[in-house]
Amino acid sequence: MIQPASRIAGFAAAALVAGGLATASIPSPAGAAPQATGYLVGTGIGDMTGEAAEVGMMGYASLSQKTAGIQQRQRARAFIVADQASGKRVAIVNIDSQGTMQAVQQAVIKKLAAKFGSTYDDRNLLITATHTHAVPGGFSHYAMYNITVLGFQEKTFNAEVDGIVDAVTQANGNLKPGTVSLGRSQLTNASAQRSRPAFDKDPAADKANFPLGIDPAMTVMRLKQGGTDVGLISWFATHGTSMSNTNTLISGDNKGYAEYAWEHDREGVRYRDPSSPKFVAAFAQTNAGDMSPNLNLKPTDGPTKNEFDNTRIIGERQDAAAATAYNSATDIGSGVDYRMRYADMSKVTVAPQYTGDGQQHTTCPAALGTGFAAGSTEDGAALDFVHEGESNPFLAAIGGFVFNVSDQLKKCQAPKEIVLAVGTTKPYPWSPELLPVQLVRIGSLYLAALPGEATIVSGLRIRKTIAAAVGTSVDNVLIAGYSNAYAGYVATPEEYDVNDYEGGATHFGRWTLPAYQEEFAGLASAMKSGTPAAADDGTPRDLSDKQLNFQTGVVFDTTPGGVPFGTVKTQPDLTYQRGQTAKAEFWTGHPKNNLHRGGTFLEVQQQVNGQWVSVADDGDWSTIYRWARSSVADSIATITWAIPADTPPGTYRIVHYGDSKSLLGTITPFTGASRTFTVS
């Protein structure tokens, strides 16, 4: 979800300032041990945490929401499955990000080519995002996704790209003979239907697959090397919006928590310890377009009124359901295959068998409607004077003036009321239209990599289309949403007409979903027949040399009275009980000076036999690193540690790692340590 801007500064206002801006699963057979399938399996994980201060956050499009610390680090999790018989392989990378931007895909492919030649390319690499809304933005090359972030943020972009490349490199380096198995379960208390009026317009036959109005399917791929479990990928549909649009901490949101809980708590993974277990757990998205984790359909409401607790609880529920599927997983079958092509989604001629009305139709250049401007009120704030499902001629008139919306585009996008004509801007569109549409098969499982976010009924229709073409059950086809590029929503034509947020954010008009069905049908037929996919409609544009940044960088850092950087401003208490929160404040430098990718801004250390041993860092759920200015160039790092219930009694301290920038531009690392305190 890309939400409109906050009540004070909406996306439409930002555009003016800029001068122109699944079906219910069949239970799996109870678990015989997976049989050998002739695979090579590899896993890897990379840190891709972006700028932790003063960068606009991606997802809610609120100008006032900027990073100010870290709750969880962003990570890329890679899985390579190679078929030893055919030699074919696929690399699947799940990233803690709002979406996979095409610029990131392009940069990753270039770096992988430099490392591995033709082994990995845009055909067999699938990059999919968890859709967390709690990450720094500015990692696209298209204006629509950067405008509320005040432009392209190179350090955040590079961190994401390098983290993905690191994860794939690790996975490639530890390929070993292994097995892959597949399990399924149901999860009914981690999502809610946030667009009921639109869902209710879908045909009864479609809605019958979702009697609760949600997609409860939890699907898990379990990977082993020999007899050792090394990873899992879980697919489940719920938005990454447990953390609200007032949050300023980097977080993987509910799926990020589930990943951490499985890796850290179940498997004992310690990300910065090379001797720790290497298990990799990815919690990926499917057709989450109209699925909210806010179970009471209000921001930060459900199951509790606290966004941190909600993030944890919705993550724990996914973790538990994934464990059920994981433990019942059975042999996935053999073989690896893939098809991909670049389709110009702005001008697809859609055949009658996909449109539903027996007529041929065409898609349109991208445009966003008043439903988009209203936002999904269940997950984030909207403009006060715009409401889902209602016409707003005033806002449409403003959009028509700024973007010069043609009568032809209005007719093509009807009944959408256009606010932002992002596909007709010059010299190039504000959002990509030449998009990668990809189908990957591992054994019996087909993954439809969609460069957007499908509602559950849209996902069902694509899955049925693919299943019919390849001759399998619809349960063996999953939507891998937010993959390889990002171009908004995919609502059904019936949902589109309602003018809720999802329809208003469906870029290419009423026939967007049928166009994707047609594209995936072509890929599936080619895979079935063993023939190549249709030729690409073109080559995606490279906009890397056309990026602008309107955000002030770090000029220099100071401390009050010239005290050394890392000096403790506020010491922790002398004693704490387990369950309490220890806190220390340090005079610090700007986090943009050094992202500490692969490192940390903090450690909680325990004194063991006269040595200080790290027990937590800024990648742990129990810690929070907050950054704030105290004057023009002075800043404070506040570090808290919610002491876990199983913490051993002993002596502890909090350590801060930072970097300062001088007036001459020299960046100098420093370390500060608090006084000791006891935990009992």
Residues identified as active-site: 292
Strand partners, 388: none
Burial 509-522 (b: 16+ CB within 10 A, else e): bbbbbbbbbbbbbb
Contact 621/641 with Cβ under 8 angstroms?
no
Burial 541-571 (b: 16+ CB within 10 A, else e): bebeeebeeebeebeebbbeeeeebbbbbee
Nearest to 466 by CA among 49, 164, 454: 454
Strand partners, 480: 449
Distance CA 56, CA 67 (A): 6
Contact 495/201 with Cβ under 8 angstroms?
yes
Nearest to 287 by CA among 347, 215, 196, 382: 215
Measured in degrees and rounded to the nearest 5, phi and psi for residue 556 equal -165, 165
What residues contact residue 627 under an 8 Å CB cut-off, 6+ apart?
A: 52, 53, 68, 69, 588, 590, 591, 635, 636, 637, 638
Secondary structure class of 367 (helix, strand, coil)? coil
Could you give the angle at which helices 154-173 and 102-116 cross, rounded to 10 degrees? Answer: 40
Distance CA 11, CA 475 (A): 38
Distances (CA, A) of 172 to 35, 38, 92, 669: 23, 17, 12, 33
Structure token pair of residue 627: 């950054």
Contact 182/221 with Cβ under 8 angstroms?
yes
Contact 667/659 with Cβ under 8 angstroms?
yes
* Residue carrying the six token digits 């929160």: 581
Contact 371/390 with Cβ under 8 angstroms?
no
Distance CA 263, CA 102 (A): 29
